[in-house]
Structure 1
Amino acid sequence: MTNLEALKQFVIDEVEKNKNELLQLCSSLIQIPSENPPGDSTEISQFIADYLKESNVELDWHESADKMYNLLASQGAGDGKELVYCGHTDVVPAGDLSKWDFNPFSGEIKDGWMLGRGASDMKAGLAGLIFVFGLFKRLNIELPGKLTLAIVPDEETGGEYGVPWLLERKLVTGDGALIAEPSSPLNPTIGQKGSYWFELEVFGEPGHGSLSPLAGNNAITDAIKAIEKIQGLWELDIHIPKEIQPLIEVSKRYMEEVEKDRIKYQPVLEKITVNVGTINGGTKSNVIPESCKVQVDCRLPFGVTHAQVSDYLKQELDSLNIRYSIRLFGFKSEANYTPAENPVCRAIVDNISAITGKEAYGVMQWASSDARHFRDHNIPVLQYGPAYLPSIHGYNEKVQVEDIVRCAKVYAAAAIDFLHNN
């Protein structure tokens, strides 16, 4: 056994020895409601700062918006590579409490499950990063490079005041990043589709409803015609770049072998998905509507750009001879990925395989996350975190305790590998 292998085994053993502390930390994070909206991270940020202070870790606080706090800390020699541990403190609202089988802010452990809002997305993963960072400090683990902990308050509503805020101000840099977002146990996400959210407003001319369709111009019926054209985006034949095809194929394999209930969704990896999410128009039934607004969420595969989608929509909607406007909002990104052979991907994937004794490989995500911001700043990144995927953003969110512990072991071992290997 080499010195590096011995060091990795030592920290893995220490995670196992101290796993009750890790689980208590996770429970405590869940017990602090940090729903976004409203996005107030004061209480949870202070708790994390107090916890890490016990390991002699001092955090720098950066308030990016009212009561939204980004927390930063670093350790290591500083002369070498830098790895960023990244996680968000905010969770989606718990919703109708009567539909939960347990208190969403209990943080209870029952029958091997950690229960509560954020258990899977992503307080279990966040707890793992914080715990390992503090553990390294307590154990005086010598790191040849720099390990940075970046805890952000704003991911669930688009993330404007979290990761991109830090990166744009160069408060965070790095040679690689690990985000503890939910994933399957053996399959980190190393790529994701792009996002194209837009609002279409169609304009008509008001008039008395008893004279329609001879009088006025109905914005709602014109919007229906427009929606039919928009849905044509799904039918477009997208040419996936040759270098991306292996990632698409391994992601299809994942859907066949791991999340078997998702086999029927394989086409989304190569198609523009179209979800007409909201429609709002008219004033009352006997008035011809003069306006109708439709909000649409499209996810873009590799091989198509925002500009191409905009050109397609303009051409198709112009052909209808209607009056309209389009406004982009929300998530905006092109499809992006980190190559599987990149050192940060290898560090995570190899250590998953070593710790579980099973084959691990990176796959593509059909949604979006903070990973795109790191890639925009040329920082290779992947996502790996404990999760029970069917429960994310739903009622009765939970995660298996053994997944929390396993991921923390991977975080520790991967940091040592990444920082020691040039």
Structure 2
Amino acid sequence: MTADQTSIVGTLAAARDDHDTVVRLTRELVRIPSRGGVDPYGPVLDHMAVWLGEYGLQTRRLVEEGGATVALVCEVTGAHAGPRYVLDACLDTAPYGDEAAWSHPPTSGELVDGWLHGRGASDSKSGAAIFAHILTRLQAIREELYGSAVLLLDVDEHTGRFGGAKAYFEGPGAPDRVDGVMIGYPGSDHVVIGGRGVLRARLHVYGVAGHSGGSKPTPNAIAKAAALIGALGDAELPETAGDDFPLPARLTVTAITGGEGYSTVPDLCTLNVDVRLTPALDDQASENLLRGCVAAVDAAWPGTQPTHVEITTRWPAYRLGDGSALKAALLEAADAAGLPTTAKIAGPSNIGNYLAGLGIEATAGFGVDYVGLHGTDERIRIASIPTIQAAYHHALLTLLAPR
């Protein structure tokens, strides 16, 4: 690689040259409906596969156990041995909501006053278009690269199942090594280098069925569940995990299901509980807290079955350390590109937490300027595209340079 190619000046020049085609590809992707769990994913995957093929890049599709296609993968392998880094963006999107409330149809891809409108423009079809262009640039200099860069385009992200990521990192043919992942979520103010984890549980609370007009009352599962909600609300959680992880843990009852009609005392009520984890409250400590509250309420309700605790999700909290090459490369590249970006620990969980459970480093948010993420009139500021592209491109060149 020449000095011009590896400098931020060179990657900015390349990004400006690519700007029109990045915008065009983003608009094309936005115009293909791909709502998670609603629309077929074949058309959007076909479009990306054809586009990459026109640049000489081979793709393969990842299929989950049930036979559904959940991702498209493309890898540029350098001529020299080295690390493997993954650029990850989703091609499925959130639902549209009230389409009548949109200024432009959700699949319009309209350009208005420097803003590109449409569902998925920010999350994350612009990220996919940017990453695809970076891969074409790396392909042109693959003889000089030490290691490889992978483009992972997930179409099972907004369902909450993250099937594409799981198929790539854990499925048949999973790579023997992945040194880091950069996830193309939008927003240029921060590079997300960590996040609270999550433990989710269903608490199946039992009462005794009976007639609501019977002469003798029976223990009501909903009333018992209400007592459990009160106990969970009174539970003490660690306020913070210190300066390295400034966010507190949080426990929220997010759903209640139980009862039917009017004349029957319910014998089952199910609570959904979401606990946001920190290093001061990990998944085991969180589970112990839930089980402690459950045991106390069960003891106060004799004559009922013990509450069944069903754990559905465990993702650890994570934070990239000061020695992380991935963190340093992206933050330094953003700074060189002229973006006053800072590292951030995110409140919501993301794929970075899943990857942390696999021992894989990840950044989970650095991308284009946006408005209306998952909301009405989702749109991106197209002038923000080149700087973001240059920063990611520069970071990868740093990571795939000889050591």
Q: TM-score, normalised by structure 2?
A: 0.90
Distance in 1 separating the partners of 2:143 and 2:114: 31
1:353 aligned residue (312, 331, 335): 335
Distance in 2 separating the partners of 1:79 and 1:119: 35
Alpha carbons 2:238, 2:281 under 8 Å: kept: no
Partner amino acid, structure 2, of 1:176? G
Query: CA, structure 1 residues 134+36, in 2 after alignment: closer, same or farther (shift >3 Å)?
Result: same
What do the CA deviations read for 1:281-332 (whole angstroms, capped 9, x no partner)?
1112232222212212221122112221222222222222344212122x42
Distance in 2 separating the partners of 1:276 and 1:239: 21
Partner amino acid, structure 1, of 2:71? N
Higher strand share: 2
Stretch of structure 1 that moved more, 219-228 or 275-284:
275-284
Q: Equivalent residue for 1:266?
A: none
Q: Equivalent residue for 1:128?
A: 130
Distance in 1 separating the partners of 2:311 and 2:3: 53
Distance in 2 separating the partners of 1:203 and 1:336: 36
Alpha carbons 1:55, 1:138 under 8 Å: kept: no
Q: Equivalent residue for 2:248?
A: 270
Using the TM superposition, give the Cα deviation of residue 189 of structure 1 relative to its aligned residue in structure 2, in angstroms. 0.5
Distance in 2 separating the partners of 1:144 and 1:36: 36
Q: Equivalent residue for 2:189?
A: 186
What do the CA deviations read for 1:379-420 (whole angstroms, capped 9, x no partner)?
222123335566222222122112233211111111111111
Q: Equivalent residue for 2:232?
A: 230
Query: CA, structure 1 residues 187+352, in 2 after alignment: closer, same or farther (shift >3 Å)?
Result: same
Tell me if 1:82 matches 2:84.
Answer: yes
Partner amino acid, structure 2, of 1:347? A
Q: Equivalent residue for 2:385?
A: 404
Alpha carbons 2:190, 2:366 under 8 Å: kept: no
Q: Equivalent residue for 2:73?
A: 72
Distance in 1 separating the partners of 2:323 and 2:245: 12
Alignment of 1:118-267 (within 5 A): 118-138=120-140, 142-169=144-171, 171-172=174-175, 173-182=177-186, 184-211=187-214, 214-233=216-235, 235-238=236-239, 240=241, 245-248=243-246
Tell me if 1:325 matches 2:308.
Answer: yes
Query: CA, structure 1 residues 372+236, in 2 after alignment: closer, same or farther (shift >3 Å)?
Result: closer
Using the TM superposition, give the Cα deviation of residue 5 of structure 1 relative to its aligned residue in structure 2, in angstroms. 6.9
Stretch of structure 1 that moved more, 167-176 or 139-148:
139-148
Tell me if 1:339 matches 2:339.
Answer: no
Q: Equivalent residue for 1:265?
A: none
Stretch of structure 1 that moved more, 342-351 or 312-321:
312-321
Tell me if 1:311 matches 2:315.
Answer: no
Sequence identity (%): 23
Report the secondary structure of 2:384's partner residue: helix
Query: CA, structure 1 residues 246+102, in 2 after alignment: closer, same or farther (shift >3 Å)?
Result: same
Q: Equivalent residue for 2:265?
A: 288
What do the CA deviations read for 1:78-134 (whole angstroms, capped 9, x no partner)?
412222111121112213322323211111121121211112211111211112112
Using the TM superposition, give the Cα deviation of residue 191 of structure 1 relative to its aligned residue in structure 2, in angstroms. 0.4
Report the secondary structure of 1:227's partner residue: helix
Stretch of structure 1 that moved more, 372-381 or 109-118:
372-381
Partner amino acid, structure 2, of 1:379? I
Q: Equivalent residue for 1:11?
A: 11
1:391 aligned residue (360, 372, 387): 372
Distance in 1 separating the partners of 2:101 and 2:252: 26
Q: Equivalent residue for 1:254?
A: none
Report the secondary structure of 1:81's partner residue: strand
Report the secondary structure of 1:121's partner residue: helix
Q: Equivalent residue for 1:297?
A: 274
Alpha carbons 1:37, 1:92 under 8 Å: kept: no
Query: CA, structure 1 residues 147+102, in 2 after alignment: closer, same or farther (shift >3 Å)?
Result: same
Report the secondary structure of 1:285's partner residue: coil
Distance in 2 separating the partners of 1:104 and 1:113: 14
Using the TM superposition, give the Cα deviation of residue 138 of structure 1 relative to its aligned residue in structure 2, in angstroms. 4.8
Report the secondary structure of 1:236's partner residue: coil
Structure 1: 5+ residue stretches without partners = 249-268
Distance in 1 separating the partners of 2:6 and 2:209: 77
Partner amino acid, structure 1, of 2:285? Q
Query: CA, structure 1 residues 6+166, in 2 after alignment: closer, same or farther (shift >3 Å)?
Result: closer
What is the total number of aligned residue pairs between the two structures?
392
Query: CA, structure 1 residues 236+133, in 2 after alignment: closer, same or farther (shift >3 Å)?
Result: same
Partner amino acid, structure 2, of 1:87? A
Q: Equivalent residue for 1:30?
A: 30
Partner amino acid, structure 2, of 1:310? E
Report the secondary structure of 2:217's partner residue: coil
Partner amino acid, structure 1, of 2:266? P
Query: CA, structure 1 residues 159+39, in 2 after alignment: closer, same or farther (shift >3 Å)?
Result: farther
Q: Equivalent residue for 1:256?
A: none
Query: CA, structure 1 residues 336+120, in 2 after alignment: closer, same or farther (shift >3 Å)?
Result: same
Distance in 2 separating the partners of 1:275 and 1:68: 34
